[in-house]
Structure 1
Amino acid sequence: MMRDIAELGADFSTSITVNPDRLKILDKVRTIDTDWLCILSPQPQVLPRYLVITRTLSADVWIFLLVTITVWGVCLWGLQRAESRLSGRRSESFGESICYGWAAIVDHPPNPPSNLSGQVLVGWLLIGTLLISSCFKSSLVANLTVENKEKPIDSYEGLVKKVNWKWGVEKFFLTGAPLLYFSQNPDPVIQFIYNHTESMVGDLGLEKVRGGRYSFLSTFNRISYFLGVLYSDTFGRHPFYVSKSRYRISSDIGLGIRKGAPFLRRFSQLVHRLAEAGILSHWIKDVLQGRISEDRKLYRQKMKEGNVASTEGTSNAAFAQSLEDEREVVLKMEHFLGLYLVFLCGLGMAMITFLVELYFAFRHLGK
């Protein structure tokens, strides 16, 4: 097209990327709205149900509770020891003081200490454990009512953080002017994506995404076309997730007019009016929906004739699985597997403690 304009064989070019060399033969370029780059990934899966008990609180909250209760138990033991030396009364052992805090968290605290300082310390602990216990129970109910899913891939950063994950880019993005967006971008995240990406056409990219643990980068309208024609059922359901974040590849894509074209002023005014009235964006959506509808009918006709394989079953199966995940949750054994793991860990720690006690007991008897 640029050669035709340079040789005066054409007056007008649509959707070109501006650079200094092209501006030598183009009299004016009006920037137009370009399609946005987005990330297509598989639908987020439900998190393992056996972690529902530990997932009610975040990891830092669990660590905070462990450290706080341990420090509180040490403080209670120290106060009891100091009071015992002054009054001569028996004080709780170190183990009893530590277990007191954990018993208070599960709403079964033992009798409070006899000294006033210990009672004050226990009183403040009971206030804190009341709040913690209420938060834990409400969070547990919420997690059992609506099960959590994996965090969807909504940005470049979320894509590169995925473990054992691959991605590909639409083939034409790695050629010509769009290649500069990836190859010369100063953002290290985009550079990492570019260095580890695969190049392929759109329908092949969607097939790899459907296989799992794969994402595909393409323009939103192009992805919408493939989803509407190949993978969506009559209700528009499909087994994919389209990122909410959209990225502009280039802001210098526009309409090119050769130098000295007599219709430049009138043409620019007309395009400006259409853009400000919102007609251009409406035309794009209308044309896209019409193309999807026509090609969808053609694709279904080919499926009936047996010329192409059907992909609709996959979308229906994925939607059925999403309904299965979102319906009312019935408690199963897998929900309590995390609790059993906690019991096993406690049993293991008790056995280790018992062996340590046996070691010191035999050592004492040997002396």
Structure 2
Amino acid sequence: MITPSALAWLLWWCPLVMNCGTSGAVYLVGQDGKGSSNSVMVATLTQMVERHLEGCHLALATTDTYSTLFIQFVRNVAENEQTAAAVMEGRTLPLTTHINTTMTYLQLQHLSGLWREGQASCQVLILDFTREDIQVMIRVVERIALWTRPETRVIFVGGRETVATLLLHHALRNTRHALHIVTNTNPTQLHKLGAVVYRRCHYCSQGEAGMEVLGRWNVSAAAIPSQPMLFTEDPENYKGHKFRLVEKNYFPYTSSMRVTQEPATQLIHQDSLGTRIITAMAHSLNFTYVVHEPVDGQWGAEVDGQWNGMVRTLLLEDADVCLDLTVAPKRASVIQFAGAYIDESAVFLTTKPRPLPEYLSLVRPFTWEVWLVVVVSIVVWGVSVWLLLKVWPQALGGRVLDLKSALFYSLGIILEDPPLLPPNNPTGQMLVGWWLAGSLVIVSMYRSLLISHLVVQGKSPVINTMPELVGRPGYSWGTVRINGMLMTILGTSADPVKKRLYEDMQVLTIEDGIRRVLDEDFAYFHSTYYMRLLVATRYTDPSGYTPIHISTSRLNLYSGNSFSFRPGAPFFHRFSLARQRLLEAGLINYWMDDVINTRTREARRMDSGNGKESDTNQAISVSNV
């Protein structure tokens, strides 16, 4: 008798591959033959494969040395003009080749991961057994870890007495499609009634796993339209099933209150983005949930080869879903992530532009480049007049000006206070006319700009990007910790701006960082949404003014935040679809803004001291406009 471990080893490592058009079949033979033939079951399996499993990769397993069921099934497939061949050690062998259970690892190595490497649209495992073999098959199903392959379709072929035992077994807890086929043992009604098909349903028994009869599979051609639908989509109604959630308090993404002070205590949800998402999904899909925190209070990191935090909770199947976990490559290799529903980025805080010194109001209308042009023009015009009147006095005639007088003459015109005696020759008068016209333009521009600068006080430029921050003289910057993802991105970047930020980054607490932002030329890096909330609640006055400026440019730290699921979760696709619908409707971004605004209003009510918003009328000032 073949052992369960040996059969499981054969099932995944020692296959015989049969190409069935676009399909592939794995035919496995054990060592305890019964030799029975069941034409109805063969016909049923053949029709199921042809009508519902086209393009799938089939794996057949039995404890019989020569299973008449599978032999006839393979023949039926081959008779339908399909090619059939067995592959072993790279050689084509007859289909009836006996598989030796003592084959070495090297002989089996080239066939490892057969299903993962195939191009089939789906994978199907068909198990043929008798009542005496049920415990063997249960151990086989446990050994091959079907719970990690929820998409694999499992079909049991056996007696009616084993239906509940197999379909409700814990090893199939994640299998989305599990069927059990039972034939009618009454010879007189065998072809009339055909086979009865049972299906495992995850949530049909008051939200828990159960089984149901899909119907009878009639192998007669006339009954083809009435055959049951074997593989339905994921349920849209979880019938009150209670999911187990795990999360950490990280407002505004998640927010909850601990019931007790014990580790892994139950949490009570408070208003946050994650709370609104899961509440909407629970209402739409009809499920309930309970929330706990991780035992060690960690997010989830790999330490000495072992995961901690919420990742470990999911791996141990102590929770079904984590509402908010940052997508990272290492985490994605051990647990499932849905698509990111919101970004995780960093911004930097600086003070809002400060008023410029008033004593510089006279020179601010022009930039230094324009002032340089004006000064050079004054000198050039004065020198030109002096040269014309000095070098060619006989030809030009008239009075002669020395250099000092010519320069003051040029300056006097632009100051609208020219000398009383202009040059009395035509060339000098022409030069004076051109200079008067140019001076009129310059003076008019200066007056209008000076008035605007005196009416509206000038401020220093806003810093919104990292190049602007690095290029601003006298500025320094910092963040909350040196080992975070921000420092990793800055330290590994080839961008010289990010390298400079990494080299000069200081580490200090949030309170100290914002204090330095307010007191000196300093920039503080932190999470985007947390900074929005912090500035709005703690550094904004009742009129809505805050001295802190949040940069408009963001530095994306991760792929984003996402739902994460325990390995093999059968509800993964339905939850992902529900999240995607919320995202496409624009609700997630709207909810994030509303959560922050709601918390801001609550904080201001608490600060007011009376628990309600003030009704006192406030005068409208220029700053309000």
Normalising by the smaller structure, the TM-score range is 0.7 to 0.9
Q: C-alpha distance in 1, partners of 2:603/2:423?
A: 79
Say if 1:143 and 1:232 are closer, same or farther in 2 by CA, change over 3 A.
same
Moved segments of 4+, more than 6 Å? none
Q: Classify the secondary structure of the residue corresponding to 1:168.
A: strand
1:86 aligned onto 2:86? no
**Aligned match of 1:203 in 497, 511, 518?**
511
- 2: CA distance between counterparts of 1:301 and 1:197? 39
Q: Give the number of equivalent residue pairs.
A: 306
Q: In the alignment, what sits opposite 2:416?
A: 107
CA contact (8 A) 2:328 2:558 kept: no
Change (3 A) 1:14 1:85: farther
Equivalent pair of 1:2/1:22 in contact (CA under 8 Å) = yes
Residues 1:243 and 2:557 aligned together: no
Give the structure 2 partner of residue 231 of structure 1. 539
- 1:268 aligns with 576
Q: Deviation digits for residues 172-220 of structure 1, max 9, x if unmatched?
A: xx43544322221222222222222222343342233233332222233
Q: 1 CA distance for matches of 2:338 and 2:499?
A: 30
Task: Select the residue among 162, 187, 200 that pairs with 2:495.
Answer: 187
Q: Name the CA distance, whole Å, in 1 between partners of 2:570 and 2:413.
A: 86
Q: Deviations over 1:75-119 (max 9, x none)?
A: 212221233033565421112222221111012233432222222
Q: CA shift at 1:15, angstroms?
A: 3.9
Once structures 1 and 2 are overlaid, which stretch shifts more, 40-49 or 62-71?
A: 40-49
Aligned equivalent of 1:139: 449
Deviations 1:39-69 (A, max 9, x none): 2222322111111111121111111111122
Structure 1 position 75 matched with structure 2 position 384: yes
Kindly provide the amino acid, as one letter, of the partner of residue 105 in structure 1. Answer: I
1:62 is aligned, of 365, 371, 383, to 371
CA distance in 2, matches of 1:247, 1:19: 16
Q: 1:203, 1:226 within 8 Å by CA — same for their partners in 2? A: no
Counterpart pick for 1:216 among 514, 524, 528: 524
CA offsets per residue over residues 203-248 of structure 1, 9 Å max, x none?
3422332333322222332122222332323332233222333333
Q: Is the 8 A contact 2:344 2:559 kept in 1?
A: no
SS at 2:417 equivalent:
coil
Separation (CA, whole Å) in 2 of partners of 1:228 and 1:92:
68
Q: Specify every segment of 5 or more residues in structure 1 that has no aligned partner in the other structure, as ranges.
A: 303-322, 328-367
Please state how far the C-alpha of 1:253 moved relative to its aligned partner: 4.1
Write the letter of the residue equivalent to 1:121. Answer: L
Task: Give me the whole-angstrom Cα distance separating, in 1, the residues matched to 2:513 and 2:359.
Answer: 33
1:30–1:256 contact (8 Å) kept in structure 2: no
Partner of 1:116 in structure 2? 426
TM-score for both structures, normalised by structure 1:
0.74
1:21 alignment partner, SS class: helix
Amino acid at match of 1:256: S
CA-CA distance at 1:256 after TM superposition = 2.9
Q: Is the 8 A contact 1:229 1:299 kept in 2?
A: no
Residues in 2 aligned to 1:179 and 1:197: alpha-carbon distance in whole angstroms = 9
Task: Quickly say closer, same or farther: Cα 1:20–1:297, change in 2 above 3 A.
Answer: same
- In the other structure, the counterpart of 2:350 is 41
What amino acid is the match of 1:21? K
CA separation of 1:221/1:254 partners in 2, compared to 1, >3 Å: closer, same or farther? same
2:494 is paired with a residue of what secondary structure?
coil
Q: Report the Cα offset of residue 149 of structure 1.
A: 1.4
Give the conservation status (yes or no) of the 8 Å contact 1:181–1:250: no
Q: 2:471 — aligned with what?
A: 161
C-alpha distance 261-177 of structure 1, shift in aligned 2 (>3 A)? farther
Partner Cα distance (1:140, 1:23) in 2: 61
CA distance in 1, matches of 2:485, 2:525: 17
Look up the equivalent residue of 1:132 and give its one-letter code. I
- The one-letter code matched in structure 1 to 2:374 is L
SS of 2:377 mapped into structure 1: helix
Q: How does 1:245-260 map to 2 (within 5 A)?
A: 245-260=553-568
- Asked if 1 retains the 8 angstrom alpha-carbon contact of 2:320 and 2:565, the reply is yes
Q: Residues 7 and 175 of structure 1: is their aligned pair in 2 closer, same or farther, counting only changes over 3 Å?
A: farther
How many Å apart are 1:148 and its aligned residue? 0.6
Q: State the partner residue of 1:287.
A: 595
Contact 1:44–1:149 (8 Å) recurs in 2? yes
Partners in 1 of 2:375 and 2:396 — Cα distance?
32
The two structures, once aligned, show a CA RMSD in angstroms of 2.9
Cα displacement (A) at 1:299 = 5.6
TM-score (norm 2): 0.45
Shift of 1:301: 5.6
SS in 2 for 1:250: coil
Higher relative contact order (CA 8 A, sep 6+): 1
> Alpha carbons of 1:177 and 1:168: their partners in 2 closer, same or farther (altered >3 Å)?
closer
Residues 178, 250 of structure 1: 8 Å contact kept: no
The residue that corresponds to 1:96 in the other structure is: 405
Residues 269-321 of structure 1 show CA distances to partners (whole Å, capped at 9, x for unaligned) of 1111100111111221222233333444456669xxxxxxxxxxxxxxxxxxx
Relative to its length, the structure with more strand (as a share) is 2
For structure 1, which segment, 53-62 or 252-261, has the greater mean C-alpha deviation from structure 2 after superposition?
252-261
- CA gap of 1:164–1:179, structure 2 versus 1, over 3 A, is closer
Find the aligned partners of 2:417 and 2:534 in 1 and give their Cα distance: 59
Residues 87/24 of structure 1: CA separation in 2 closer, same or farther (3 Å cut): closer
Larger Rg: 2
Is 128-137 or 188-197 further displaced after alignment? 188-197
Is the 1:153–1:243 Cα contact (8 Å) retained in structure 2? yes
Q: Hey, what's the Cα distance between the residues in 1 that align with 2:374 and 2:406? A: 16
Does residue 151 in structure 1 map to residue 461 in structure 2?
Answer: yes
